[in-house]
Chain A
C-alpha cells in the first residue's frame, strides 16, 4: 500500500537525550514536512523539504534538526536543546512543490520526555 509511515508510534525519552523520529513515504512525493501539535493546539511547522538534500526551517525549528538524503525519508531529530519536546509529531508529504497540492499525513509519533 502507498502511504507515509512514521515510527515509532510512542516514544519516551529522558531529559538531555537526543531522539530521532522516522518518516518514510512511498508516494514518490517531492515535498515532506514536520509539524508539532500540542494538546488543544493547531499544527506548527518545524521543518520542510521540497527536494532531496535541501530543507528549510519552519516556525519553530529551534532544538530540532532534519536531513533529506533520500526522497523517501525525512527523519527528525529532537535534540536536548528543545526545551519542551513532549508533543505529538506529525510528518506529511505532498506531491510537488507547487502551491495547491494537498498534504498527506503519517499516523504521528507521541513523544514524552520523562
Chain B
C-alpha cells in the first residue's frame, strides 16, 4: 500500500457545486496533515493544515479521521478559480522526516 493515496480524478463539476476529496495514508503514526493546491505548471501552495478537530476556511473544510486513516477536503460553492490539482500531504511520524505527497486529485470546475 502506498504511503499516501488519492483518487487522481479528474472531478468535473459545475460552478456552485460541492465536491469532496478523500486521501488515505498508510502510516498510523503520521503526525501532521495538509492540503496543498497546485495549478498547472506551477509550484504547490499550502491550502490548509488539517487538525484533529477539523478546520474550516471559508468555502473549504478539512477533516481528519485517524481511526480510518484518511483526511478529506470539502469545497462548497465551487468557483472556476478552484480548478487545480489538490495534493494531500502527510508527515510520516514525529521524527525528522520530510513531507510525503500524494499524487493529487484534479478538479475542473465548469461554467
Quick one: given A45-B98, A99-B93, A100-B31, are A107 and B103 in contact (CB under 8 Å)?
no
A100's partner among B41, B91, B98, B101 (CB-CB below 8 A) is B91
The number of chain A residues touching the other chain, given as a range, is 20 to 34
CA distance A107 to B42 in the complex (A): 6
The number of chain B residues touching the other chain, given as a range, is 20 to 34
A9 to chain B, nearest CB (A): 11
Quick one: given A41-B103, A50-B96, are A104 and B32 in contact (CB under 8 Å)?
no
CA distance A70 to B43 in the complex (A): 24
Quick one: given A41-B103, A99-B31, are A48 and B98 in contact (CB under 8 Å)?
yes
A48 to chain B, nearest CB (A): 5
Q: A88-B41, A102-B49 are in contact. List 16 more A-B contacts (CB 8 A).
A: A42-B102, A43-B101, A48-B98, A50-B96, A97-B96, A98-B94, A99-B31, A99-B32, A99-B92, A99-B95, A99-B96, A99-B97, A100-B32, A103-B46, A103-B99, A105-B45
